[in-house]
Amino acid sequence: MNIAMEPVRMTVKDHIVHLELNRPERLNAMNVEMVESIIDRLEEIAESEQKIVIISGAGAGFSSGGDIQSMSAGISDPLFVEIMGKVKEMILKVYTLPKVVISAVHGPAAGLGFSLALASDYIVASHQASFGLNFIKVGLVPDGGCHFLLKKRIGYQKAKHAIWSGKTFSATEAKDGGIVDQLVEEAPLEAAYALAETITQQPHQSQIESKLILNATEVLELTKILDLESEAQGKMRKTVEHQQRIQAFLNRTK
């Protein structure tokens, strides 16, 4: 495949691997091909000597979330379960990767794109970034472990209310609320590389051991939440409200 057409482009610079979500014409909406590509890349990186992984999006934003047209409408139950299984695998691989993972966010990080960023060890964002919980607007629940990951960042009560309201956090709100670790005026990818260079000056194996210790019990809850989200999403996609909201969304898109 031509590298320009790859759903996820990977480049390596010294101890840093950069994964770029590459569907800019769809605001990096995640279809099955992209999710599978992220999984494949992470498996390759896990066995490499690189220490840092930076995830960013091509074009105007980080990711608008799951591709509604390809992942939600008109698919069979078995295929839906398979897709949710791949989403679960992707998030767990990011969360448990024996590397330091940095998400560099510009523009929107919404839905599953928001969950992917939350699974990282650091989120670096520009002032133009936004973080959207748009699931409820199409009659769905958050997935990609968002219930767990957002709760860990901002607390149970605030996470619940944000999910219910379908809130979109501005970059400043996200920084003040503990979602974003570093806020920059612009060029979050450059800031992520600078942060990565600083991190590489520390003993890497000690960092990873601490990450694994902190994640040891948390990953059990995350796995359970991912399973519950999949089950709930399966129910929600069959509701009349979801079907009506999806159709309205697709009509507006057209």
In a domain, 235, yes or no: no
Which residue range forms the structural domain that includes residue 113?
A: 3-199
> In the chain, what's the furthest Cα-to-Cα distance?
54
pLDDT of residue 150: 98
- pTM > 0.75: yes
Residue 145 DSSP one-character state: T
Strand 122-126, strand 168-170: pairing:
unpaired
Return d(Cα 185, Cα 194) in angstroms, integer: 14
Report the relative pairing of strands 8-13 and 16-21 from DSSP bridges: antiparallel
What was the pLDDT predicted at 70? 64
In a domain, 223, yes or no: no
Alpha carbon distance, N-terminus to C-terminus of the chain: 29
Per-residue pLDDT for 196 more than 60?
Answer: yes
**Residue 111: left (phi > 0), alpha (psi -120 to 50), or beta?**
left
Tens-place pLDDT, residues 8-38: 999 999 999 999 999 999 999 999 999 999 9
107 has pLDDT over 70 = yes
Q: Which amino acid would we find at residue 199?
A: I
**Residue recorded with tokens 């448990």:** 96
pLDDT tens per residue across span 67-101: 876 655 568 889 999 999 999 999 999 999 999 99
51 lies in a domain?
yes
pLDDT at site 51:
97
Percent of the chain past pLDDT 90, that is, above it, reads 86
Q: Which CATH number characterizes residue 87's domain?
A: 3.90.226.10
pLDDT on residue 76 = 86
The reply to whether 99 falls in a domain is: yes
How many domains does the structure of the chain reveal? 1
123-158 burial string, b = 16+ CB within 10 Å, else e? Answer: bbbbebbbbbbbbbebbbbbbbbbbbbbbbbbeeee
pLDDT of residue 251: 74
What is the average pLDDT value for the chain, to the nearest integer? Answer: 94
pLDDT at 254 over 70: no
Give the rounded percent of residues in the chain with a pLDDT score beyond 70. Answer: 94
